[in-house]
Amino acid sequence: MGVIGCADIAIRRILPVLAAHDDVDLVAVASRSQAKAERVGAAFGCRGVADYAAVLGRDDLDAVYIPLPPGMHHEWALRALRAGKHVLVEKPMSDSYENTRELISTATELGLVLAENFMFLHHSQHAAVRAMLDQAVGELRVFSGSFAVPPLAPDSFRYQAGLGGGALLDVGVYPLRAAQLYLAGDLDVLGACLRVDTATGVDVAGSVLLGDARGATAQLDFGFEHSYRSTYALWGDRGRVSVRRAFTPPEQLKPLVRLERQDEVVERSLPEDNQVFNAIDAFVRAARGGDPRGSDTSAILRQASLVDRVRRVARIVDDTPAPNPVRRELLGEGAGLG
């Protein structure tokens, strides 16, 4: 395997797993900086290269991992696929539905594995929660999910619109994806609001309301200007289950799940799990088997479509104090909302 980009998540979470995995030979890592490439390569026992394209041109690679900013995913994943490499790309797969569809179509045509690195999906706590639904929740009425972090470094790509920055693509995609684990079918975007920072032009916070054909709803919040929160909850006609560390639990953590029913509150400790290793291992097994079905492309497409629809529906609010008429409109007055 090779790695295209020396992003923080690659250095902290992914490269250690690739370097230690029994079925992976980590060959090369690329950065725009030769010095950084060599430093990272030396730390993980591989070659450091200051040229993304040079990594794709190597004939000793079967697959690549791409942790570049979202606005660069489509270009480099497409180039990797056309170079005959299996591809694991950081979430989101790309910055638009059309780009994601092209990547999946290309991978299918070439018989290559293309996977989106939503690591939380590979933690066993979510399967455990699903097993509790009938007994603890009953018929699902409301899914709620939040993922937010404190302000990031000002020079982060997350504040650069041209690189696919913004809270929706970076943290909002997590509760959007989690909602699809529990709500049924294609989801309707019933409402959305994105707060845009006028200095950078990117969304820094948002909320979304989704609904499914059964009438269940999902209430989602995300952003870059909050105290840390990474949680979701399922509320039904029998009770409520909440997951406290839903998206980024450390592998040493035994997740706590809270069950609330009439006259009863119980907390259950679930087994610790390593979602980073599990995600990498799933990709490696699919790539070694040469089986494109190792990636759930239908789920990737549904997610990309949902993100695009949130963008289209969202009411945009900037961080300039709004005059009274705009505030009234946001509260629903004069907008047919009563």
Contacts of 214 (CB under 8 A, 6+ apart): 140, 184
Beta strand pairing call for 140-148 and 229-236: antiparallel
Q: Report the distance separating Cα 36 and Cα 39, nearest Å.
A: 5
Q: Is 254 known to be catalytic?
A: no
Q: Report the distance separating Cα 182 and Cα 130, nearest Å.
A: 8
> Which residues partner with 240 through β-bridges?
235, 260
268: phi then psi, degrees, rounded to nearest 5: -115, 135
Q: Report the distance separating Cα 276 and Cα 18, nearest Å.
A: 10
Residue 328 structure tokens: 């009234």
DSSP structural state of residue 322: P
Q: Report the distance separating Cα 159 and Cα 1, nearest Å.
A: 30
Active centre residues (catalytic): 91
